[in-house]
């Protein structure tokens, strides 16, 4: 298929009908037979956007991992590796992999491991996955790439990964995400994307393709046969246009794993829900999230993507909202940094304590460096400034929404001191809410992890309105 913009309705009308059988119950039986803990290394916190009742760890010592393996069939480890350069991301993946393997031996558990990354194909691939495999001791049958994410409008059809924009499907390489200064790419076809990101080490023609015909006409048995026939250390990509496609794929995957295969997964959030055997649940109500605090609510916006800026513009127009801007130019100037943080922290605290809501945001003029390392360094300095402001809060806010993957990760770990949180569910499709643990700065608080590229222009304002309801 030509990598061109498609009308979603017209393109979907050309596809074979999805598999008729609901496979959720049979997947549950397969999971019991296989009996492997699913551990998801998440390069930012947004990967929890399809699950509920699942813990998130921000530490990975062997004792902590062994304890979690004993009590949780599925859990996340928040690595925030997308904020790191490649060498540090590889070292971290290798370290966590080794600790996981040691913890599994200690707890006498078998593992299935996923590397969950941004669903618009950004991140350290395949370097991070290769390092993780090394840390885990190797011996994998291959790597499976599954970027389908229905809640965020991400579909793979005829090997081309699309991003939904309105009623159109745009090939991922033609979106702003592909122009990311740290993780850009030029191919929407996943076989060519794998070749590009591997520097040609993995040839497009060598990539195993799980097609929609496999998933919608041949079924799970055919999927299992393809996976079992993969050459050792091979790479497979998975097409999907709905959750039923994921069910058929996971059923075939589990059959192959039960037959002795062992794969690493590079995936978006939707795959985790199906592979983890987690049933969907309704969106969270305001009552399930509301705090007893009388202070105003706080929204922290660090993401620079166009969607985030649109949402920011709408959010600050809500009645009773005070916008507070953190100047990026001053944050990367050592002489002005301290004074700027002090000014912003004072304004945020005073406004929240008056009962008004605050939208804290970074200035929208993105400062670019000359290399990936420089860009990541600038992002780190700005995120650290936001975290210092949140860390300075004198009272628990009425609610806290963090906009952007790296921003929400840094706020959780650096500013709030989170070690373990529980995913309550979603406030909107693709927008997870955590209940913070007792060790956090604000124990038990509901924390909204709002991905930078999810939702429409009114989505953040809508979330704020839910918390502001009487």
Residues 214 and 338 in one domain: no
Best-predicted range by mean pLDDT (79-88, 126-135, 287-296, 366-375): 126-135
Last residue of a domain, one of 245, 275, 305: 275
Q: Could you tell me the CA-to-CA distances from 316 to 41, 236, 470 in Å, in that order?
A: 34, 44, 20
Mean pLDDT of 243-264: 98
Q: Is 430 or 370 the better-scoring residue by pLDDT?
A: 430
pLDDT of residue 22: 95
Mean pLDDT of 131-144: 97
Residues 359 and 447 in one domain: yes
Residues 192 and 219 in one domain: yes
pLDDT of residue 226: 98
Give a yes or no: residue 357 inside a domain: yes
pLDDT of residue 1: 44
**Domain at 95, CATH number:** 3.40.50.10840
Give a yes or no: residue 17 inside a domain: yes
Count of CB atoms within 10 A of residue 428's CB? 21
Residues 64 and 204 in one domain: yes
pLDDT of residue 279: 94
Does residue 108 surpass a pLDDT of 60? Answer: yes
Q: Is 312 or 119 the better-scoring residue by pLDDT?
A: 312
Residues 343 and 207 in one domain: no
Parallel, antiparallel, or unpaired: how do β-strands 110-116 and 234-238 relate?
unpaired
Last residue of a domain, one of 275, 306, 330: 275
Percent of the chain with pLDDT over 70: 96
Band of residue 452 on the pLDDT scale cut at 50, 70, 90? confident
Give a yes or no: residue 131 inside a domain: yes
Extract the tokens encoding 400. Answer: 């806290």
Residues 457 and 343 in one domain: yes
Band of residue 375 on the pLDDT scale cut at 50, 70, 90? low
Find the DSSP H helices in 368-458: 372-391, 405-410
Residues 98 and 224 in one domain: yes
Rounded to whole angstroms, the Cα distance separating 308 from 65 reads: 34
Rounded to whole angstroms, the Cα distance separating 52 from 66 reads: 21
pLDDT of residue 348: 96
Give a yes or no: residue 73 inside a domain: yes
Mean pLDDT, the chain, whole residue set: 93
Mean pLDDT of 311-334: 90
pLDDT of residue 242: 98
Range of the domain at 222: 6-275
H/E run at residue 389: helix 372-391
Last residue of a domain, one of 256, 275, 294: 275
Those residues with Cβ within 8 angstroms of residue 387's Cβ, 6 or more apart along the chain or in another chain: 410, 411, 414, 415
Does residue 110 surpass a pLDDT of 60? Answer: yes
Closest by CA to 236, choosing from 147, 354, 116, is 147
Does residue 371 surpass a pLDDT of 90? Answer: no
**Domain at 381, CATH number:** 3.40.980.20
Give a yes or no: residue 242 inside a domain: yes
Does residue 368 surpass a pLDDT of 70? Answer: no
Closest by CA to 123, choosing from 92, 151, 101, is 92
Those residues with Cβ within 8 angstroms of residue 233's Cβ, 6 or more apart along the chain or in another chain: 140, 141, 142
pLDDT of residue 347: 96
Give a yes or no: residue 199 inside a domain: yes
Does residue 400 surpass a pLDDT of 80? Answer: yes
Among the residue ranges 72-81, 221-230, 340-349, 358-367, the one predicted with the least confidence is: 358-367
pTM recorded for the entire structure: 0.90
Residues 260 and 306 in one domain: no
CA angle (383 as vertex; 291, 360 as ends), nearest 5: 50
Q: Could you tell me the CA-to-CA distances from 459 to 177, 300, 317, 451 in Å, in that order?
A: 20, 14, 13, 11
Band of residue 470 on the pLDDT scale cut at 50, 70, 90? low
Q: Which residues of 238-248 are buried (b: 16+ CB within 10 A; e: fewer)?
A: bbbbbbbbbbb
Mean pLDDT of 183-206: 97
Does residue 170 surpass a pLDDT of 60? Answer: yes
Residues 27 and 103 in one domain: yes
Closest by CA to 310, choosing from 449, 452, 411, 405, is 452
Does residue 147 surpass a pLDDT of 70? Answer: yes
Residues 300 and 269 in one domain: no
pLDDT of residue 373: 66
Closest by CA to 43, choosing from 130, 125, 150, 160, is 125
Band of residue 381 on the pLDDT scale cut at 50, 70, 90? confident
Mean pLDDT of 68-86: 94
Residues 216 and 326 in one domain: no
Give a yes or no: residue 81 inside a domain: yes
Q: How crowded is the C-beta side of 223, counted as CA atoms within 13 Å? A: 30
Does residue 357 surpass a pLDDT of 70? Answer: yes
Number of domains within the chain: 2
Those residues with Cβ within 8 angstroms of residue 283's Cβ, 6 or more apart along the chain or in another chain: 425, 426, 427, 428, 429
Give a yes or no: residue 449 inside a domain: yes
Q: Tell me the pLDDT tens digit for each residue of 256-305.
A: 999 999 999 999 999 999 999 999 999 999 888 877 777 899 999 987 77
Do residues 461 and 311 make contact, with C-beta atoms less than 8 angstroms apart? yes
Residues 183 and 312 in one domain: no
pLDDT of residue 33: 96
């Amino acid at each position: 298929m030509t990598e061109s913009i498609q009308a979603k309705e017209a393109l979907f009308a050309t596809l074979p009908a999805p598999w008729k059988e609901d496979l959720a119950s049979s997947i549950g039986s397969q999971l019991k037979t296989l009996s492997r803990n699913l551990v998801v290394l998440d390069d930012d916190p947004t990967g929890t956007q399809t699950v509920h009742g699942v813990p998130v760890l921000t530490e990975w010592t062997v004792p902590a991992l062994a304890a979690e393996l004993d009590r949780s069939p599925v859990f996340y480890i928040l690595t925030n590796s997308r904020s790191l350069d490649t060498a540090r991301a590889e070292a971290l993946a290798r370290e966590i992999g080794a600790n996981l393997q040691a913890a599994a031996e200690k707890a006498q558990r078998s593992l299935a491991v996923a590397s969950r990354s941004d669903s618009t194909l950004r991140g350290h691939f395949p370097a991070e996955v290769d390092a993780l495999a090394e840390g885990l001791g190797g011996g994998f049958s291959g790597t499976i790439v599954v970027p389908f994410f229905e809640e965020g409008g991400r579909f793979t059809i005829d090997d081309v990964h699309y991003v939904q924009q309105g009623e159109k499907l745009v090939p991922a390489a033609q979106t702003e995400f592909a122009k990311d200064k740290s993780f850009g790419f030029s191919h929407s076809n996943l076989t060519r994307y794998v070749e590009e990101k591997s520097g040609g080490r993995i040839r497009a023609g060598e990539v195993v393709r799980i097609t929609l015909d496999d998933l919608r006409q041949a079924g799970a048995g055919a999927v299992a046969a393809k996976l079992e026939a993969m050459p050792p250390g091979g790479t497979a990509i998975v097409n999907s246009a709905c959750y039923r496609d994921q069910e058929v794929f996971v059923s075939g995957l589990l059959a192959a794993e039960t037959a002795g295969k062992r794969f690493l997964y590079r995936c978006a959030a939707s795959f985790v829900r199906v592979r983890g055997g987690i049933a969907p649940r309704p969106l969270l109500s305001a009552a399930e999230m509301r705090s007893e605090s009388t202070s105003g609510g706080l929204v922290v916006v660090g993401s620079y993507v166009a969607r985030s800026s649109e949402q920011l513009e709408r959010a600050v127009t809500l009645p009773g909202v005070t916008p507070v801007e953190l100047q990026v130019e001053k944050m990367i100037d050592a002489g002005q940094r301290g004074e700027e943080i002090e000014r912003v922290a004072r304004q945020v605290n005073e406004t929240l304590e008056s009962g008004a809501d605050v939208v804290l945001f970074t200035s929208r003029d993105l400062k670019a460096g000359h290399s990936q390392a420089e860009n990541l360094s600038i992002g780190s300095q700005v995120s650290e400034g936001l975290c210092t402001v949140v860390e300075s809060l004198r009272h628990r806010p009425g609610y806290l929404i963090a906009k952007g993957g790296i921003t929400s990760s840094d706020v959780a770990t650096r500013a709030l001191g989170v070690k373990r949180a529980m995913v309550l569910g979603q406030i909107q499709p693709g927008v997870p809410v955590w209940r913070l643990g007792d060790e956090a700065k604000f124990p038990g608080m509901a924390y909204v992890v709002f991905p930078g590229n999810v939702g429409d222009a009114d989505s953040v304002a809508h979330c704020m309105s839910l918390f502001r309801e009487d």
